[in-house]
């Protein structure tokens, strides 16, 4: 694998089962990445440090997942000009709609590319990050094309009985 260009961050250890989906897809595509717990509320200095150094460390895209009052993706977008992809983690109380709205409704000037709630959203965050890197990496672009063709080929034309 090449230099680490994608950072996956999440607000809590409890987000990892969801955010692992992003890491797994990047592993499948052979994209180097790092994974960190960075909480907007519990470790604000860690958040600030991560955002302040991300460009100089060579990161190109940040995937940020959080649940509930999910301020991590937006705060990270306020601290770095790198593209931030937000993943709303599903919550027990409000099923992740709280996470979704917290991440989605950014003020003009500080975009966060917001994915769907939960594991599917995390997987898509990994894919979107890889697609961004593939704009300037033809070998990764070829691997993505293969992955997409393989997914397409796995879908049957007709439904089967159980």
Q: Where are the beta strands (DSSP E) in 13-75?
A: 33-37, 61-67
Alpha-carbon span 146 to 125, nearest angstrom: 18
Please, how many CA atoms are within 13 Å of residue 96, restricted to the half-sphere of its CB?
17
Site map for ligand RP5, 17-46, x if CB under 6 A?
----------------------x-------
Enter the tokens of residue 56.
Answer: 């100089």
Alpha-carbon span 85 to 75, nearest angstrom: 12
Does residue 30 contact residue 5 with C-beta atoms inside 8 Å?
no
Return the residue of 5, 12, 114, 124 that touches ligand RP5, per CB under 6 A: 12
Site map for ligand RP5, 51-90, x if CB under 6 A?
---------------xxx--------------------x-
Q: Is residue 14 marked as binding?
A: no
124 interacts with ligand RP5 by CB under 6 A: no
Count of residues touching ligand RP5 (by CB under 6 A): 9
Q: Is residue 20 marked as binding?
A: no
CB of 100 to ligand RP5, least distance (A): 12
87: which strand partners?
A: 65
Residues near ligand RP5, by CB under 6 A: 11-12, 14-15, 39, 66-68, 89
């Amino acid at each position: 694998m090449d230099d680490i260009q994608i950072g996956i961050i999440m607000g809590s250890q409890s987000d990892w089962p969801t955010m692992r989906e992003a890491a797994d897809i990047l592993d499948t595509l052979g994209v180097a990445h790092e994974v960190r717990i960075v909480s907007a509320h519990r470790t604000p200095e860690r958040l600030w440090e991560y955002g302040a150094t991300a460009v100089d460390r060579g990161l190109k895209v940040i995937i940020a997942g959080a649940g509930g009052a999910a301020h991590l993706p937006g705060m990270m977008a306020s601290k770095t000009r790198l593209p931030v992809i937000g993943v709303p983690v599903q919550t027990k109380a409000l099923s992740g709609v709280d996470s979704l709205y917290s991440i989605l409704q950014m003020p003009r000037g500080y975009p966060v590319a917001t994915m769907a709630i939960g594991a599917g959203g995390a997987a898509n965050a990994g894919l979107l990050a890889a697609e961004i890197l593939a704009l300037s990496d033809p070998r990764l672009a070829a691997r993505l094309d293969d992955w997409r063709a393989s997914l397409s080929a796995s879908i049957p034309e007709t439904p089967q009985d159980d």
